[in-house]
Structure 1
Amino acid sequence: MMKTFKIWTYKEGDVPLVHNGPMRYVYSIEGDFIEEMERNGNPMAASHPDEAHAFFIPISVTNIVYYLYTPSEIHHFSKRIQAIVEDYVGVIAERYPYWNRSNGADHFYVSCHDWGPSVSKGNPKLFQNLIRVLCNANRSEGFIPRRDVSMSEINGPFNNTPSVGSGKSPHNRSILAFFSGKVRGPIRSKLFQHWGNNEDKDIQVHTYLPKGQNYSEFISQSKYCLCPSGFEVASARLTEAIYMGCVPVIIKDHYVLPYSDVLDWSQFSVQVPVDKIPDLKKILQEIPFEKYLKMQKRVIEVQRHFRLNFPAKHFDLFHMILHSVWLRRLDVHLATIN
């Protein structure tokens, strides 16, 4: 892929809605990805659209929301996002032959915002083939694994590059499982109902950590890190766990795990059905310690696939996203132009 796959990033449009995006906090991957694709010297960037195998639409849904959203529009703002993206596609389809020859099947956009999946819903026929690279990869909300790409959510710090380490030795992690976060959505509500802010030292579930406690330290001291859905299925906690060598415990419905075309998540994570939340402690305690050690070792091994590098490096987060796009592009058969 690295030697042959070429991507054209459309030049049309103006910042801040196009060619720009956030590079901090939970939606930072939008800006990070645009930055990497438009970086001078990117070896996967096509020098001319005729040599491209895929076409990137560099729109940031997060920036559209940030710059244009007003509270009075909450019930119909998604339609405004849809109109902006549809107008952009109209421009590139008029200027170039590439969208029309494949009906958009070799085109993709990247979005981590909660409203990212709704971009294509305003005109389903126009966008029926478009590859959507999304953090919120929810099958119950229209995510199609054979066409769309599930992308990991990253909580980008001020320096844009999250730190990655091994945390404490797996033999010295005293907390069985840990979660800290707001009570958002029915799954977290159920988690807090059974395990929230209680006296159990093995399963520690907090809305807010006690004053003076460090979030990263808790992850480093935990064997397992709980990753429940909030209002949406995506969560940066999945990558935060991996970054600190903590085995993720995925508690989500209808979620398509990132890069599952090539990563076997059963080897380095635990998936717990929502209705088994009351049995969480029993489920985790019944995992043999030797099996936990193997999973934790594999968490360390897969860290490079979730790591953010500027410029991108082989097998890192950017290349995992592009590899997923490449696999879907292989299924596209362009119409013959006579």
Structure 2
Amino acid sequence: MSDKAARASKIGCLEADLARVRSSIKEASQNRTMISTHEDPDYTPRGPIYRNANAFHRSYLEMEKRFRIYVYEEGEPPLFHNGHCKSLYSSEGRFINEMEKGQMFTTRDPDKAHVYFLPFSIVMMVQYIHVAGSHDIHPIGRTVADYVRIIAQKYPFWNRSLGADHFMLSCHDWGPWATTYAPQLYNNSIRALCNANTSEGFKPSKDVSFPEINLLTGEVSGPLGGQPPSRRTILAFFAGRLHGHIRHLLLQHWKDRDGDVRVYDQLPADISYDSTLKKSRFCLCPSGYEVASPRVVEAIYAGCVPVLISDNYVLPFSDVLSWQSFSIQVAVKDIPNIKSILKGISPRQYIRMHRRVQQVRRHFMMNSPPKRFDVLHMIIHSIWLRRLNIFVPL
């Protein structure tokens, strides 16, 4: 059997196996109860935080059993195979580093892979090849295009699917823009992005939204915790710089206006950011210049119900999680009505939402080493779901 025929046979087996997986998940989705019926030694998804707990759990278990990722070896650090782990871009850096360790669903045999990871880091490119203040980001886009070209010339996998079973990952604001330099990457590949902005080409059917997590020390222990509902004395809280029109509107309407809705562009030196999160009932999470905000995860860590204020933002893991069950979404036009909206939530409803925030936290935890159902596994699960939408030709 020729190499081409052998590869076609392997693809056929992979696709047939994925067809069975699709069928099993569809069957599981017919069970509309709010608790998974599948056995699991660690965790059983349940409750309204999930769109369908049974379907999610079945999909997750199938992923653990079958999913394989091939990481291309081309490229040298720091632009490739590396990423920041102690910054606003922690989720990108941790993901790349875990892929490099080869312990999370990776395979050394590309013929056994379901997806192929392009391990470049836009954050590192900004640090090392962008000239600060020049506003010339074309070298970054050209580097991405050159990398895709090398992969397409050296391996058969890109061209057989036109990049559809390949993925990249970026938490930098320029990540989506950089992919436009490689049209097949932009149009066909799975783009895992923090900046999941539908007005800038993000396509929920093929792209993946994952959360910004700002870990200045590399650990999450500081922001975790918070007061019980009865001891949360602040109705709503936000502190952050004036980035973008949404924050401008928020500060215009609420800065220094109301003791219940505490909004700051600069937090006073005698007020602790983490402590204030932990004693606030609702945490305002407005978009900045781009749609994603690390405040969403900060709120979840602190047990504070997120109040999402954004346009065109596809929320992380929203194909699995039912965000309306544990967060509040406020339209930009309703910023002047924030207090009345939040006051209109009954104590009983708030307690339910607070409990759900605590439940969903496990899916946003950055663990070292990674743990089942944590944020890195949820990112991979989102990529797995997109791969189930793809049929690679023989």
Give the TM-score, by structure 2 length: 0.82
Partner of 1:14: 76
Partner of 1:213: 271
Aligned partners of 2:256, 2:199: CA distance in 1, in Å? 31
Out of 152, 156, 162, the residue aligned to residue 211 of structure 2 is 152
CA offset at residue 73 of structure 1?
A: 3.2
Matches within 5 A, 1:242-281: 242-281=300-339
- Higher deviation after alignment, 155-164 or 260-269: 155-164
Partner of 1:104: 163
Identify if the C-alpha distance between structure 1 residues 127 and 138 changes in structure 2 by more than 3 Å, giving closer, same or farther.
closer
SS at match of 1:47: coil
- The higher radius of gyration belongs to 2
Deviation string, structure 1 residues 125-177 (Cα, Å, up to 9, x no partner):
45310111000111111110001100100001223445463300011100000
Partner of 1:46: 107
CA offset at residue 3 of structure 1?
A: 1.3
CA offset at residue 110 of structure 1?
A: 0.8
Partner of 2:227: 168
Runs of 4+ in 1 over 4 A off after TM superposition: 160-164
- Higher deviation after alignment, 87-96 or 238-247: 87-96
Partner of 1:290: 348
Partner of 2:16: none
- 1:286 partner amino acid: G
Deviation string, structure 1 residues 284-312 (Cα, Å, up to 9, x no partner):
00011101110110000000000001221
Aligned partners of 1:217, 1:11: CA distance in 2, in Å? 44
CA offset at residue 119 of structure 1?
A: 1.8
Identify if the C-alpha distance between structure 1 residues 163 and 316 changes in structure 2 by more than 3 Å, giving closer, same or farther.
farther
CA offset at residue 122 of structure 1?
A: 2.2
Residue 155 of structure 1 contacts residue 162 of structure 1 at CA under 8 Å; is this kept in 2?
A: no
Partner of 1:67: 128
Residue 117 of structure 2 contacts residue 166 of structure 2 at CA under 8 Å; is this kept in 1?
A: yes
SS at match of 2:191: strand
Out of 24, 37, 53, the residue aligned to residue 99 of structure 2 is 37
- 1:259 partner amino acid: F
What runs of 5+ residues in structure 1 fail to find an aligned partner? none
Aligned partners of 1:295, 1:149: CA distance in 2, in Å? 25
Aligned partners of 1:161, 1:109: CA distance in 2, in Å? 25
Aligned partners of 2:221, 2:142: CA distance in 1, in Å? 34
CA offset at residue 72 of structure 1?
A: 5.2
SS at match of 2:277: helix
- Higher deviation after alignment, 325-334 or 218-227: 325-334
CA offset at residue 48 of structure 1?
A: 1.0
- 2:375 partner amino acid: L
SS at match of 1:3: helix
CA offset at residue 120 of structure 1?
A: 1.7
Q: Is 1:117 equivalent to 2:176 in the alignment?
A: yes
CA offset at residue 47 of structure 1?
A: 2.6
CA offset at residue 124 of structure 1?
A: 2.4
Out of 282, 295, 307, the residue aligned to residue 224 of structure 1 is 282
SS at match of 1:326: helix
Out of 359, 365, 371, the residue aligned to residue 307 of structure 1 is 365
Aligned partners of 2:284, 2:202: CA distance in 1, in Å? 24
Identify if the C-alpha distance between structure 1 residues 160 and 94 changes in structure 2 by more than 3 Å, giving closer, same or farther.
farther
Identify if the C-alpha distance between structure 1 residues 27 and 251 changes in structure 2 by more than 3 Å, giving closer, same or farther.
same
Partner of 2:3: none
Residue 123 of structure 2 contacts residue 172 of structure 2 at CA under 8 Å; is this kept in 1?
A: yes
Out of 79, 86, 98, the residue aligned to residue 24 of structure 1 is 86
- 1:55 partner amino acid: Y
Identify if the C-alpha distance between structure 1 residues 282 and 57 changes in structure 2 by more than 3 Å, giving closer, same or farther.
same
CA offset at residue 267 of structure 1?
A: 0.3
- 1:228 partner amino acid: P
Identify if the C-alpha distance between structure 1 residues 19 and 307 changes in structure 2 by more than 3 Å, giving closer, same or farther.
same
Residue 163 of structure 1 contacts residue 243 of structure 1 at CA under 8 Å; is this kept in 2?
A: no
Identify if the C-alpha distance between structure 1 residues 147 and 52 changes in structure 2 by more than 3 Å, giving closer, same or farther.
same
Aligned partners of 1:39, 1:162: CA distance in 2, in Å? 24
Matches within 5 A, 1:313-324: 313-324=371-382
- 1:95 partner amino acid: K
Partner of 1:134: 193
- 1:20 partner amino acid: N
Aligned partners of 2:309, 2:185: CA distance in 1, in Å? 34
CA offset at residue 24 of structure 1?
A: 1.3
- 2:96 partner amino acid: I
Which structure has the highest helix share of the two? 2
SS at match of 2:116: strand
SS at match of 2:186: coil
